[in-house]
Structure 1
Amino acid sequence: MIPLMSLMIGSYIVTRMMIFMLSKNHNQYKSGIVINKLLAALTVIITVICVILIFRSSINPFDMESILKPDVLPSSSEKVEASEKTKDLDVGIENIGEKQAYINKVRIINLKAVETTPERIEVSGIIRNLGNRTLNKVDMIIYFLDKDGMPIFEETYSPVWVSEYSFGVSNKPLKPNYSRRFGYNIEDVPPDWAKKVKAEIADIRFER
């Protein structure tokens, strides 16, 4: 690009000299003026392009500071927070395993279902805590079976639930080796129910 610009500048100078030498011939003088203007315009354009290219080539396209900047290491507070989250996760996993093991110590005894009205069924029984910990909540699932003993309907019930939203005998904790009677009324049981039920403990909550 620079040699081309030099050539254009040289041509411009030569043209100016020719115009001076041919100034006595009017027609040749006018042609020289036109050529001179064209060369001058091209020289300016090429000069601007060269300046732009030189300026762009002087800019580093890579941000070397960001490339050479070392990775930011986590702060001590971030490490502590991550450690606490890991501990909470481990505790949660341990609690799940502990609850699953303790569920086997909670028994449902004398479960039965009676039609109190054509549209209402009363499910009753006894729940017993055979473990060594007090329970603040026990969730059970009651299954209604067809003639083949297959579940066709289910309800979730909490015979133990210590809460401000609960009331009656279920609002008391179930202590170790204690038993409690429960009764639960259910409506809209499917017509193909065969008057048979079964139940299982779904979840528990320990007293803190």
Structure 2
Amino acid sequence: MRAWGPEQATGAPNSQGPGDLESAWASLTEDGRDEWLLLEYLNAVEPAQLRVFETFNPGAVVKITALDADDKESLLWEGTDPLRNGPPAGVAEFALNSAAATQRIKLYLASREVAGWNEIDAVELLAKDGSRQWAHLARASSTYAEPAPVATTTRVADEFSPYLDQPVVVLMEDSSKVHGVLLSSGKDFLILRADRNSRVLMLNKSKILTLEIVGGRD
């Protein structure tokens, strides 16, 4: 994972104490613009609560929405972050409004109102059925991280070559599964087109446990 990349907000928290730590997501600028963080979870659930692990300059979350398959947003919460003007780090807990089942949650941050980088290490989603899960994919409005490696269509002859252009399911080391068509295999990353929304995903090969074909293409 890239230091300060949005991917740092996936999985369970791993930052050791408060501070400007590369194990959390940080936006490109300290206070240059308002920001957002979009998180995707493995299972679609009816959201009940969100626990946001804010590790540096907390208190900037002002709105939380859920996204459906068509990217339509539904408001889950809006107000003042409970960590505003509070401790240097902590876990902000948000009770969410009723909503249909979703896999994607979007946080809006008023970064210009809370000085400094407002860093987030992890976001836990609690469902009405009592289940809990960590995000397995994340995107953000900006990031302080180095640019991600450019996706390439160069096809490297390796152990993944037999699966090119096939629908596959990839099991990642955090137990999440990614479904899609394998487009290419580079030195360090696989490029897939996701089944659910046709987004192109870049998967780190070092994080992959297994890859299997799930059936022939139509």
TM beyond 0.5: no
Q: Which structure carries more relative contact order (alpha carbon 8 Å, separation 6+)?
A: 2
Higher helix share: 1
What TM-score, normalized to structure 2?
Answer: 0.29
- So what's the TM-score if we normalise by structure 1? 0.30
Higher strand proportion, which one? 2
Larger Rg: 1
